Amino acid sequence: METKLRARVAVAGAGAIGSAVALTLARAGFDVTLFDPAPPGDNASGVAAGMLAPLAEAVFDPVSTPHLALLRRARDLWPAFAEGLDLEILRDGLRIEGEAGWLAGVAARLEALGAPFQRLDGVLIDAEDWRIEARPALAALRTTFEALGGAFETRAFIPDDRPAFRAVVLATGAADASGLAPELKILSPIKGQILRADRGPATGPVIRGEGVYIAPGDSPAIGATMEAGRDDLTVDPSATQGLRAAAIRLRPELAGAVMTTEVGVRAATPDGLPLVGWSATPGVMLAVGARRNGWLLAPLVADLVAAYLKGDNPGPDAASLDARRFSRT
């Protein structure tokens, strides 16, 4: 007989959020089936730069500024979440470089946030932002999930699947799944194009300049566009030429680099935070709308989903992420 902790749960979507949810539920003893029709990493999570960057987000993205404390709590869940995974958290921090006037404005914003940072030779340095490599991270989450007995189905979750499960968690990203939960109608797409260079910094801090970041790696990531209202995956060089030029100003050796473009679509709510919790549709739980912080927020979202399914106290961030906050009348 099905016990509470062996309840069958479906998770729709194997991006950062769905994969983290599936793993956390499997660790908690649920009988989890993860659905996704797309090849691994063929989603926004796969193209992401993998920054776990509360401070950079709060400083450079006005929508995220009010959420700094929540974003920091999310980051702080990562070490325990990553334990036992074949996944390294890179803790090289952030290096902000640029023209003196612009840098002075950034320093003022950091000070206003009460954020600790250093000035060193005309550069601002912060140690608190972290990073992971996105596609290897997705693979690590999947491997550990399956090692714990989790099942994966390479297909879309459809309404006819509902009766086989106690609950379904929709982690469907920017896909239109509003037929399964009316709250998803509030989501809007933000297309993001990111460049991958065949040379450039392989290790070290994320470098931020005016209108651009460079995340080191084997193929350093140079990002990223924010194209509100767009949900197509078309590569558009005119949208990324500014990123390319800004990156070359920061690291002139990138001038000779071959850069390829990857595209993903973020799903966003009006306040920039995801929808997490029960839908008005019985048995449907939401874990969507993480905008530009899906990797950073993944362990927090997963913990909230697990708490709701277990009937535990979901903690201090539940109200801010309430799945029905835009749909209650």
Ligand X SMILES: Cc1cc2nc3c(=O)[nH]c(=O)nc-3n(C[C@H](O)[C@H](O)[C@H](O)COP(=O)(O)OP(=O)(O)OC[C@H]3O[C@@H](n4cnc5c(N)ncnc54)[C@H](O)[C@@H]3O)c2cc1C
Query: Residue 67 or 329: which CB sits closer to ligand X?
Result: 67
Q: Determine if 285 is a binding residue for ligand X (CB under 6 A).
A: no
Q: Which segment (61-69, 172-180, 181-189, 244-252) binds ligand X by CB under 6 A?
A: 172-180
Helix (H/G/I), strand (E/B), else coil: 318? helix
Q: Which segment (10-18, 73-81, 88-96, 197-205) binds ligand X by CB under 6 A?
A: 10-18
Compute the distance between CA of residue 259 and CA of residue 269 in angstroms, rounded to an integer: 31
Query: Residue 56 or 309: which CB sits closer to ligand X?
Result: 56
Compute the distance between CA of residue 167 and CA of residue 12 in angstroms, rounded to an integer: 11
Nearest-approach distance from CB 329 to ligand X, in angstroms: 26
Helix (H/G/I), strand (E/B), else coil: 159? helix
Q: Which of 135, 155, 148, 163 is nearest to 12 (CA)?
A: 155
How would you classify the pairing of strands 8-12 and 167-170?
parallel
Residue from 35, 78, 117, 165 touching ligand X (CB under 6 A): that is 35
Q: How many residues bind ligand X (CB under 6 A)?
A: 41
Nearest-approach distance from CB 212 to ligand X, in angstroms: 12
Cβ contacts of residue 232 below 8 Å, gap of 6+?
Answer: 191
Query: Residue 71 or 250: which CB sits closer to ligand X?
Result: 71
Region at 229 (left for phi over 0; alpha for psi -120 to 50; beta for the rest): left
Binding to ligand X in span 140-159, by CB under 6 A: 156-157
Residue from 9, 25, 47, 243 touching ligand X (CB under 6 A): that is 47
Give me the numbers of helices (H) and strands (E) for the chain, helices first please. 10, 17
Query: Residue 103 or 221: which CB sits closer to ligand X?
Result: 221
Query: Residue 229 or 252: which CB sits closer to ligand X?
Result: 229
Site string for ligand X, 249-268 (x = CB under 6 A): ---------------x-x--
Q: Determine if 278 is a binding residue for ligand X (CB under 6 A).
A: no
Nearest-approach distance from CB 1 to ligand X, in angstroms: 28
Query: Residue 44 or 214: which CB sits closer to ligand X?
Result: 44
DSSP category for residue 102? H
For residue 245, what are its two tokens? 């030029």
Strands, DSSP E only, in the chain? 8-12, 31-35, 51-52, 94-96, 118-120, 123-126, 130-131, 151-153, 167-170, 188-197, 206-209, 212-215, 221-223, 227-228, 259-268, 275-278, 284-288
Q: Determine if 200 is a binding residue for ligand X (CB under 6 A).
A: no
Binding to ligand X in span 215-234, by CB under 6 A: 223-224
Binding to ligand X in span 305-324, by CB under 6 A: none
Q: Determine if 45 is a binding residue for ligand X (CB under 6 A).
A: yes
CA 231 → CA 164, 192, 228, 290, distances in Å? Answer: 32, 9, 9, 15
Contact call for residues 157 and 9 (beta carbons, < 8 A): no
For residue 210, what are its two tokens? 């005016």
Q: Determine if 54 is a binding residue for ligand X (CB under 6 A).
A: no
- H/E stretch holding 36 reads none
Q: Determine if 295 is a binding residue for ligand X (CB under 6 A).
A: yes
Query: Residue 251 or 291: which CB sits closer to ligand X?
Result: 291
Q: Determine if 68 is a binding residue for ligand X (CB under 6 A).
A: no
User: Which residues here bind ligand X, judged by CB under 6 A?
Assistant: 12-18, 35-38, 43-45, 47-51, 156-157, 171-175, 177, 192, 194, 223-224, 264, 266, 288, 290-296
